[in-house]
């Protein structure tokens, strides 16, 4: 199994709206892709920004590619991300999951 993480940051006043936006865009896209085992949003306030981590689990890198395309290490963004994000990672991290 593969774990996929991505990080981005918003201003505190945009944090709740960004959660709503993620729940309308990225999270359903993760969850509706065959081979996805679940997707979650992690959030914490650090100084004057709010950090977000999306965490998803996948059956394989082939399943990740079905979601992310042929460059699976490149982050996937949605049209309104620019409105919310003050900083973002352009790449994601993949980890093998061991039980």
Cβ atoms within 10 A of the Cβ of 23, count? 11
Q: Report the pLDDT value the prediction gives residue 81, as an integer from 0 to 100.
A: 96
Q: Is the pLDDT of residue 99 over 90?
A: no
> Any idea which residue has 């409105």 for tokens?
83
- The SS3 call for residue 27 is helix
- Average pLDDT of the residues of the chain: 97
Query: Mean per-residue pLDDT for 84-89?
Result: 98
> What range defines the domain where residue 33 resides?
2-96
pLDDT digits (tens, 9 = 90+) for 18-30: 999 999 999 999 9
**Quick one: DSSP state of residue 3?**
E
pTM reported for the whole predicted model:
0.93
Q: What's the domain count of the chain?
A: 1
Q: What is the CATH number of the domain that holds 63?
A: 3.30.70.100
């Amino acid at each position: 199994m593969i774990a996929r993480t991505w990080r981005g940051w918003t201003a505190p006043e945009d944090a709740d709206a960004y959660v709503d936006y993620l729940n309308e865009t990225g999270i359903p896209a993760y969850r509706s892709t065959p081979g996805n085992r679940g997707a979650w949003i992690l959030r914490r306030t650090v100084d004057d920004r709010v950090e977000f981590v999306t965490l998803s689990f996948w059956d394989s890198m082939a399943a990740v590619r079905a979601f992310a395309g042929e460059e699976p290490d490149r982050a996937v963004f949605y049209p309104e991300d620019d409105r919310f994000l003050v900083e973002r990672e352009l790449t994601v991290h993949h980890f093998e999951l061991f039980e």
